Homo-oligomer: A and B are copies of this chain.
Amino acid sequence: MAKSAGVAIGYLSERSGLAVSAIRYYETQGLLEPWRNAGGQRRFHRADIRRLSFIMIAQQFGFSLPEIRGFLKTLPGGRTPTPEDWARISTGFRDHLDARIETLQKMRDNLDGCIGCGCLSLPKCALYNPQDQAAKKGKGPRYLMGDSPELDAAPEKGA
């Protein structure tokens, strides 16, 4: 179980396409745990290339680095993930993706219902309250695309 020589950060960078600085950053975020050689340089497992690929894929799926760290914690420490490890995580990805697709399709349907309707003063507009899941942190408007029913009835007063 000797650690072998390990590979340098530049090797991982070249193999993964990530910048050296990004790999160091991932270490600060707890996504990788390299050891140091006698001269103080980082040394990685060859298998960490997969960890990096995993990170890149998970980012494409919209996961944040803390979330990805959570996934990686479920992976076995030093060894290569087994098919089971990977299948478990992939299934999580799938749920995530399905939810996002569903949200987008709902938005599209709402939009379809709205195209041509004018949306001039429509508190009942289909885009009324789209922030189902994919919404940001903010509170969001209460009356999207329109004022509240009564208060905005008057047109350009004084025109």
Q: Which residues of A contact B (CB under 8 A)?
A: 1-2, 4, 15-18, 46-47, 49-50, 52-54, 56-57, 59-61, 79-83, 86-87, 90-91, 93-94, 97-98, 100-101, 104-105, 107-108, 111-112, 114-120, 127, 130-131, 134-136, 138-148, 152, 155-159
Contact = CB atoms under 8 A, between A and B. Distances in A.
Given A83-B117, A98-B108, A104-B100, A141 B1 contact: no
Copies in the complex: 2
A137 B73 CA distance: 27
Nearest to A61: B107
Nearest to A139: B17
A135 B94 contact: no
What's the dominant secondary structure at chain A's contact region?
Answer: loop
B111 A104 contact: no
